[in-house]
Amino acid sequence: MRALSILVIDDEPNIRKTLGLSLEALGCRAHTAAGPEDALDEAGRSLFDVALLDLRLGTGSGLDLLPQLLAQSPWMKVVVMTAYASIDTAVQAMRLGAFDYLPKPFSQEELSLMLEKAGRARELERQVDSLKESLGQAEADVLLESRHPGMQRALALARQVAASEATVLLRGENGTGKGVLARAIHGWSRRASAAFATISCPTLSAELFESELFGHARGAFTGAVKDTVGRVAACEGGTLFLDEVGDIPLALQPKLLRLLQERAYERVGEAVSRRADVRLLSATNIDLEAAAKSGRFREDLFYRLNVVQIDLPPLRERLEDLEDLAQSFLGFFSRENRKPGLAFSAEAMERLKAHAWPGNVRELRNAVERAVILCSGSEVLPEHLPPRLGGQAQPSALAQSGDLVSLEELEQAHIRRVLARTRSLEEASQVLDIDAATLWRKRKKYGL
């Protein structure tokens, strides 16, 4: 279990100091506050797992502060402590949302047991949040084994750096599995029990990206009807993955750089500087170094993101893995669609091996999923595979020959050509005259 971050709220300086030393001896990170105003200020600047709240705060009452703390930090486990223990105050504190009750004086052992209990509760909540994040994103994680030397090197390096706190930049074409590997790095790390979240940079405008990343205060902009914590705060103690980081607007790059350098940020519409404990992973399909030299990406941010670079080879360069990948996807989608025992026919497998796979592993995954859905027997046949996979003319060739093709086929072929000839999603969306979010949806639809 990771070290807990604890806020001690007590009006007695000696008690604050003693508790702080006791908590540090237990391996916790301790901050102290003398009263309600200090406590709310500290809770606003940092994320705490547990608060030890004295019920007597000078002329004030900890019971009055308790709802305010929970409104600001609903995940925090507030343990109330008092020398005036009674059933009535304990029941009242629980009704207001206290996690537990600790009467003074208490021993180091009692404090340790209470923190262990609170820590396990926070750990379970993080695991639930991580599982919720994963729901609907089920993947056949077959990328984590390979016969290809380049992919083997990438996986070995990923396992090696997972144990560190280094920022990692994953580079590779669209569909090579950068997101799957990012989640694997999180799973192999010391932060595995905490949250993992992904932000797809091309899908958000500059304003929405900043709010999604850092959160916003109520009234910060039209439609901001309540405070939101943002992905950085939601991933406290965990990992945040920025997909296609090269598409972050230049105006926001200094704020991301500050997060990396100082572990500090502000929510949109607030002047309060907050501290962050989050590991950052990022991915790109463009040459960020070239983008930095041309002024399209901050050079200092590039070096901060690129502490460790991992290159993922395209599927066309690791064809020795294709059959294993296809079989694994087949098993995955057979179980998901309740069609056990499916197998590829020899001709269908030959079609898979003959295709160039410009969309890489994502394209293969989508092709196999389509085949499983369309297959009504025990064997996947060539007709169950997408028309572009050999044996049939590509949409562009059909169009040139005068055959009738759907508008969707023409659009897919054109988007594929533009993506292959441009250096970034932003450039591709400009050529296509559509916004980046629309292009992202179309890529997802067509498996590009």
Architecture of the domain made up of 316-446: Orthogonal Bundle (1.10)
Grade residue 397 by pLDDT with cuts at 50, 70 and 90.
very low
pLDDT at 194 (0 to 100) = 85
pLDDT at 130 (0 to 100) = 65
Q: Is the pLDDT of residue 398 over 50?
A: no
The CA distances from residue 45 to 7, 22, 93, 275, in Å, are: 12, 23, 25, 6
| Measured distance CA(151)–CA(396) in Å, rounded | 32
pLDDT at 401 (0 to 100) = 45
CATH code of the domain occupying 5-125: 3.40.50.2300
Peptide bond preceding 105 in cis form (omega within 30 of 0):
yes
Q: Give mean pLDDT, residues 438-447.
A: 77
Same CATH fold assignment for domains 5-125 and 142-313: yes
The CA distances from residue 421 to 81, 428, 431, in Å, are: 65, 8, 10
Residues 183-219 pLDDT 10s: 999 999 999 888 899 999 988 888 888 999 998 888 8
Which tokens in the block code for residue 363?
A: 């394209």
State the residue for tokens 């029990």. 193
Query: Domain limits of the chain?
Result: 5-125, 142-313, 316-446
Beta strands in 4-76 (DSSP E): 5-9, 29-33, 50-54, 56-57, 60-61
pLDDT at 281 (0 to 100) = 97
State the residue for tokens 């406290």. 236
Architecture of the domain made up of 142-313: 3-Layer(aba) Sandwich (3.40)
**Could you tell me the pTM of the whole model?**
0.66
